[in-house]
Amino acid sequence: MPGFTAWYGLLKIGKPKARETLVVSAATGAVGSVVGQIAKTYGCRVVGIAGGQEKCRYAVEMLGFDACLDRFSPTFAADLAAAAPHGIDISYENAGGEIFESIWPMLNIGARVVVCGLISHYNSPSEAVGPDRLPATLMHILRRRIKVEGFIILDHYAEYFDTFYADMSKWLTDGSIAYREHVTEGIENTAQAFLDMLEGRNFGKAVVRVAADH
C-alpha cells in the first residue's frame, strides 16, 4: 500500500517531468522513500525532508536523493532555499505543519502540491490560532497557478493497481527502488509502535511482527 500510494500521488497528481525539483516530507518513510526514488527515475532533482541527521544521510546515501534536510534544523528555510535553487515544482506532503511555511513561498508557477498525509495535523484542533493564512494561500494558488490535490489510495485500486504492480516489479528488479522496514517484535507492542510512528521514531515502514516468518 505505501508503494502504491507513492506511485499514484506522484505520477497521477504530481506528474513529474525531467529536471523539475520535487520536495518530499517524511522522506525516509514508507511512502516518502518511494516517492523520491520514483522521481529520480523520472529525472527530477529530489530534496527530502526528514527528522534528524541519520535519516537524512540514509536518504542521500542509500536512496539516492540529491539532498535531504533535517526538519529540526534552526536554519531550515535557508537550507531549503540552498537545496532547491530553482524553486519547487512538486511538493509531496506527508507531514504538513511548520515546513509548509518554508515550502509554499518557493513553489514555482505551475507547481503541484500532492496532499497525501498531514500527520502533524491529525491530532490538532480544527481551528488553529491566527493569523488566518487561508486568504493569502488562495491568492498564492491563483498567482502561481498552483494545483493542490488530496487523495486517498483506497479509491484507486480498481483502476490503477495492476499498472502500479507492473512498474514497481520492474523497479525492484532493476534496483531503482530500495526499501526499509522498521520492525517491532510482538503484537503486545503494537500500541507503542503506533505512537512512536506518529512521533517519527520509526525508520522505514513501521510494521509489527506477530509471528515468525515461514
Under the rule (CB under 8 A), what is the footprint of its own copies? Answer: 96, 115-118, 121, 124, 126-139, 141-152, 155
Amino acid symbol at 110: G
Give the largest Cα separation in the chain, rounded. 56
Residue placing its CB nearer to its own copies in the complex, 61 or 149 = 149
Q: Least distance (Å) from its own copies to the CB of residue 97?
A: 8
Q: Which helix (H) or strand (E) holds 103?
A: helix 99-103
Residue placing its CB nearer to its own copies in the complex, 127 or 174 = 127
Tell me the CA distances in angstroms from 181 to 20, 90, 106, one per residue in order. 29, 26, 32
Paired sense of beta strands 45-50 and 67-70, if any: parallel
Q: Least distance (Å) from its own copies to the CB of residue 51?
A: 20
Q: Least distance (Å) from its own copies to the CB of residue 130?
A: 1
Residue placing its CB nearer to its own copies in the complex, 136 or 195 = 136
Helix (H, G, I), strand (E, B) or coil at 206: strand
Q: Least distance (Å) from its own copies to the CB of residue 79?
A: 23
Residue placing its CB nearer to its own copies in the complex, 43 or 150 = 150
Neighbours of 207 (CB within 10 A): 13
17 in Cβ contact with 41 (< 8 Å): no
Give the cell for residue 105: 513561498
DSSP label at 125?
A: -
Q: Least distance (Å) from its own copies to the CB of residue 173?
A: 32
Residue placing its CB nearer to its own copies in the complex, 150 or 186 = 150
